[in-house]
Structure 1
Amino acid sequence: MIVFSAIVPPSPLLIPSIGKEHAAALAHTIDALAHIKSSLHAIHPDACIIISQYSRLPQRFGIGIHTHYKGSLKDFGDLREYAAPGLPSLGTALLTQIPHGMAAGVTLPSLDYASVVALRSLCGDAPSAPVVPLHSCAASYEAHARFGAALAEPVIHSSHRIALIAVADLSHHATEASPEGYRAEGVLFDKAVRGALQKKSTRHLMETARKYDEEAALSGIRAMIILSGILEDFRASFRLLAYESPFGVSYLTAEYV
């Protein structure tokens, strides 16, 4: 069963050892992550499914079936290795309950940087709940929605108490501070994504991604589409906790309650 769901940003600057000097600029996001961390601790899920497109597979979606995972933020200056237990029984159960060939079982023990940021932000340095990574792929937005929809029933009816965490950012052109430069379409893209999430409309998310394709290509919208596909018919409301673009890249933090 689903006991918690959230969207969190992937920025390594949220980790104090990397972005401590930027804490004031990221205050709203940091406060929102602290709220989610507290909620997760109180709920104490049996497993965390981490939805990320930052370890995208070339052809098929992926579901992690390893017994343990490791990752780091060494590319950003933090040399510590992060470790988390896996839950291959849950990953295998999900694989067997979705259409054959839709996803592959992934035995790689590595976590991408975005998943490490999310887990360290929400679970601390020693997560108690095992992790099952979901991997995006190069397929269409519609395929991502179908993948999420196919996972809905197996996840909702699982005997495990599951927390769903999508790791995603929004526009990379939101303000003049963006390394990619400002584009008005970035602001419009962010507004449309927030509206689609508020409506819990996977269709509107996909329409937004197609309309603002250049913005969507740099964002984490694929992870949000997968999550939306899982939650579309689940009784939970979207609650925006923080939205800010202090460095030109938009960070959205939200939960479903």
Structure 2
Amino acid sequence: MYNKAVRLLTARAISNLTGCCTRSEEVKLMVATLVFAGIAPHPPLLVPEIGGHRISKVERSFKAMQDFSRRLLEADPETIVLISPHSPLDWHAFTTRADAELYGDFRQFDAGQVRLKFNNDLELVNAIGKEAEAAGVPFKTYGRSYLLDHGAMVPLYFLAEAGWRGPVVVLAFSGLSIGTHVEFGRCITRAAEKLGRRIAVVASGDLSHRLIPTAPAGYEPEAYRFDQLVTDSVARGDCKEIIEMDPDLRELAGECGYRSIAIALGSIDEKPVNNCVLSYEGPYGVGYLVAILAEGLSQSAVKEQSIGGL
């Protein structure tokens, strides 16, 4: 039963790889500051120094992350804003680091030789704080030096391999309402607009952790429905269906990416552009989704899509 469900979901995701969704749209002239937004998984086994031969079982995700990273760099952002589920969490506020440099390694996965270091875009951090305050969204910075967590490190590994050497802002979500997460995403984009900063937003997160009996969070026969809803909705560009998802389904799935995705959806103002699913699979019982929410936003014209009911 469970193998059939995962195979069916994977097949449905792959059927969306032939192209991006087409929607009714109108062209609005504007300066694009948010030039890319997407969803990236963060299993450490995707890193060759950690995964070794096991990468063959997540080959779709590995290749999709290479494609994702290449396309993000082609969008030419000045700063990458990444939301990680495993950054230090304040249940009552969104948080980020105030350190001048962000660094980390994979020592906890016996690959301490793999190290990353980036400058922190503190000007953007401060601008996000101002926009959050104006919107009544709780936001805090902390100055203690934490190593970057694997939720940030895995996507950043692929981005660094693709050639990224620019600044990064790493954010943590909160325990506040989903609507507040969406609004915080809007604050990020407004902050970039105020600075005239081109940004790419990456929602790091894995989907259900309960897809098969050997899954890390146990088995839940209906957990695949969460992954199916998110994957299909991203392919269609249906932000409303994701944002208004039944909380019981999220709880049942044992996911760790939903709130990151909600922030990313807010950053694009719930209007996907050239959205598409690059890959989905769950061979180890955890759903790995690589997807683009917005791409191809030029400096001269942005396609602003009309989405019914939003």
Match runs of 1:213-232 below 5 Å: 213-232=250-269
Q: Distance in 2 between matches of 1:33 and 1:62?
A: 26
Q: Does the 8 A contact of 1:151 with 1:230 survive in 2?
A: yes
1:76 shift after superposition:
1.2
Correspondent of 1:96 among 130, 145, 150: 130
26-35 or 81-90: bigger deviation: 81-90
Instruction: Note the residue ranges of structure 2 that are not aligned, 5 or more in a row.
Output: 1-32, 296-310
Q: What secondary structure sits across from 2:60 in the alignment?
A: helix
Distance 1:42 1:238, change over 3 A: closer
1:4 maps to which residue? 36
Distance 1:191 1:144, change over 3 A: same
Distance 1:136 1:235, change over 3 A: closer
Q: What secondary structure sits across from 2:84 in the alignment?
A: strand
Q: Does the 8 A contact of 1:92 with 1:105 survive in 2?
A: no
Correspondent of 1:237 among 274, 288, 304: 274
Q: Distance in 2 between matches of 1:96 and 1:223?
A: 21
Q: Does the 8 A contact of 1:193 with 1:208 survive in 2?
A: no
One-letter amino acid of the counterpart of residue 165, structure 1: V
Instruction: Report 1 or 2 for greater relative contact order, CA contacts < 8 Å, sequence distance ≥ 6.
Output: 2
1:144-171 per-position Cα deviation (integer Å, ceiling 9, x unaligned): 2232233343335541111111101101
Distance 1:70 1:250, change over 3 A: same
Correspondent of 1:60 among 93, 108, 111: 93
80-89 or 154-163: bigger deviation: 154-163
Q: Does the 8 A contact of 1:174 with 1:184 survive in 2?
A: yes
1:32 maps to which residue? 64
Please report the TM-score for the alignment, with normalisation by the length of structure 2. 0.76
Correspondent of 2:165 among 116, 119, 128: 128
Q: Does the 8 A contact of 1:65 with 1:89 survive in 2?
A: no
1:116 shift after superposition:
0.7
110-119 or 171-180: bigger deviation: 171-180
Q: What secondary structure sits across from 2:225 in the alignment?
A: helix
Q: What secondary structure sits across from 1:185 in the alignment?
A: coil
One-letter amino acid of the counterpart of residue 143, structure 2: T
1:209 shift after superposition:
4.9
Q: Does 1:85 align with 2:122?
A: no
1:115 shift after superposition:
0.2
Q: Distance in 2 between matches of 1:236 and 1:108?
A: 37
Q: Does 1:155 align with 2:196?
A: no
One-letter amino acid of the counterpart of residue 43, structure 1: A
Distance 1:213 1:239, change over 3 A: closer
Q: Distance in 2 between matches of 1:68 and 1:159?
A: 22
Instruction: Note the residue ranges of structure 1 that are not aligned, 5 or more in a row.
Output: none
Structure possessing the higher radius of gyration over alpha carbons: 2
What is the number of equivalent residue pairs in this alignment?
A: 257
Distance 1:148 1:141, change over 3 A: same
Q: Report % sequence identity.
A: 25
* Richer in strand (by share): 1
Q: Distance in 1 between matches of 2:216 and 2:65?
A: 24
Q: Distance in 2 between matches of 1:54 and 1:209?
A: 23
167-176 or 238-247: bigger deviation: 167-176
One-letter amino acid of the counterpart of residue 3, structure 1: V
2:183 maps to which residue? 146
Distance 1:216 1:67, change over 3 A: farther
Q: RMSD between aligned alpha carbons?
A: 2.2
Q: Distance in 2 between matches of 1:203 and 1:156?
A: 24
